[in-house]
Chains A and B, each alone.
Chain A
Amino acid sequence: MIEVKGLHKSFGDVHILKDISTTFKKGKTSMVIGQSGSGKTVFLKCLLGLFDYEQGSISYDGKIFGQLNADEKRNIRSKIGMVFQGSALFDSMTIAENVMFPLRMFTKQSKSEMEDRVNFVLKRVNLADAHYKMPSEASGGMQKRVAIARAIVNKPKYLFCDEPNSGLDPKTAIVIDNLIQEITEEYNITTVINSHDMNSVMEIGEKIVFLKDGKKAWEGSKETIFKTDNEAVTNFVYSSELFKKVRKMYLEENES
């Protein structure tokens, strides 16, 4: 479980995150949503320890990250899997080498053990035949799946995804969403996803945190988001005609 308490983050005079508190539970897919510039990525980078923050605390299974020494922080980071918006695959390595990278860095496994694990996770993300391709030869959807495979290969306890569906067609986006949710349940990990893709939110958002202007404006789930009267949420989530109709149908169905 990841617990965030009273998080504040500024860049110079610009106050980006204002007093954010929330929890992300184990085995659940949690989503952080909000408009571009609402502070989602900064929030995620604070969770990952890539940004320092002025106030507040972030704890991983009860351990407050800011109070840990360098080795303890490194230990927690080795249990984190991250899927970046642009996949962030190492372009000098093949797909198999990319996936094997965390194993080579953090385990003492033999080469054959590592290869077995890589084969297993690549099969898990439906990329059993892509071992020797370079990232530049893979499509956007394939790159995302490789990034997921790399993130889960070392059996992480926490999985973070920054806009995993950006730039993907709707069908591939659903495949990626389902894959992340299945992996979260299968490995019982704490998953946090940054997104402004409403399809993903409705599909896999077991917990949803809505950020507006750096503040937590609302918190709920994919079920409660249909019923909320929070103006900021409804303006953002139901800005398209399609989602307005979906919501109307959902509410009518529930009333009847």
Chain B
Amino acid sequence: MTYFHNIGAYFIMVKDMFRKPTKWSVMKGLILKDIDDLIIGSFGIVAFISFFVGGVVTIQTALNISNPLIPKYLVGFATRQSVILEFAPTFISIIMAGKVGSFITSSIGTMRVTEQIDALEVMGINAINYLVFPKFIALMLYPFVISIAMFLGILGGMAACIYGGFSTLEDYVTGVQLDFIPFHITYAFIKTIVFAFVLATVPSFYGFFMKGGALEVGKASTTAFVWTSVAIILLNYIITQLLLS
């Protein structure tokens, strides 16, 4: 029953996010702050992980195609497909569920514990709009982060390929350009937008409706990470089935 209650409460929160909007002059500042916290603040970790995971994908692909009949350029092809279709949009989103999600839950949860949300509500402010909507708008720039992840993943693969001696630069680039289907990029960005919505709203839900003290803020962050990841994985399956099969 709790699950059904939470799902219902989540959708009511999403509806309330668009009601009684905060004054634009105030909202503008909140959006810019959230872009800084959630998007710009994530560039470092996303770049680091993308580059090295791209490298690892390349090494593992190269080591698993030792058959001389398989052309070397397939390493680049496999890296591109893995990075664009799954690694950048999905794997990075799971990482972001940990980084951005726990930040959102703990910051909103702390506001709940310290009565700052009550203070907003007493003033007649729609606290859900004030707190969640700027995060939702900020995370609409999330595809930009994923574009960088795609680029750096393929670049990391190239570096690993060349410095590891698995194939030549020409072979890798040929593979990366082989049978490129532009719709795969569209598919990846559709997924990314959906995941951005989940990343903004699910952690906010667990922060906003948490009860208790500091210990519960920690528990809410963990729960938010788990359910954000579950939602991302399930939606990934559904979107892939709908768009690619």
Contact = CB atoms under 8 A, between A and B. Distances in A.
Interface stretch (A78-86, A167-175, A177-185, A242-250): A78-86
B122 A105 contact: no
A215 interface: no
Nearest to A150: B119
A80 to B, nearest CB: 6
A215 B116 CA distance: 29
Nearest to A48: B122
Interface string B130-144: 000000000000000
A222 interface: no
B170 interface: no
Contacts of B186: none
Given A74-B124, A102-B123, A105-B125, A86 B115 contact: yes
Contact of B123 (A45, A77, A89): A77
B118 A50 contact: yes
A82 B119 contact: yes
A78 B123 CA distance: 5
Contacts of B22: 105
A187 interface: no
Contact of B23 (A78, A86, A89, A104): A104
Contact of A80 (B20, B116, B123): B123
A70 B115 CA distance: 22
Nearest to B121: A50
Interface string B1-38: 00000000000000000001011011000000100000
A80 B118 CA distance: 13
Given A104-B26, A105-B26, A88 B119 contact: yes
In the complex, which range does the number of interface residues on chain A fall in? 20 to 34
Contacts of B122: 48-50, 77, 80, 82, 160
A84 B123 contact: no
B60 interface: no
A37 B65 CA distance: 70
Nearest to A77: B124
Interface residues of B, number: 16
A132 interface: no
B115 A84 contact: yes
A117 interface: no
B207 to A, nearest CB: 15
A130 to B, nearest CB: 19
Contact of B115 (A78, A88, A104): A88
B118 A105 contact: no
Contacts of B114: 86, 88, 91
Nearest to B125: A105
A49 B124 CA distance: 10
Given A104-B26, A105-B23, A88 B124 contact: no
Contacts of B26: 104-105
A160 B118 CA distance: 13
Nearest to B124: A77
Contacts of A102: 123
Contacts of B115: 84-86, 88
18 contacts: A45-B118, A49-B122, A50-B121, A75-B124, A76-B124, A77-B122, A77-B123, A80-B123, A86-B114, A88-B114, A88-B115, A88-B116, A88-B119, A89-B116, A91-B114, A105-B23, A105-B123, A160-B122
Interface of B: 20, 22-23, 25-26, 33, 114-116, 118-119, 121-125
Interface of A: 45, 48-50, 70, 73-78, 80, 82, 84-86, 88-92, 102, 104-106, 160
Given A74-B20, A105-B23, 20 more contacts: A50-B122, A70-B20, A75-B124, A77-B124, A82-B119, A84-B118, A85-B115, A88-B114, A88-B116, A88-B119, A89-B116, A90-B116, A90-B119, A91-B114, A92-B33, A102-B123, A104-B26, A105-B26, A105-B125, A160-B122
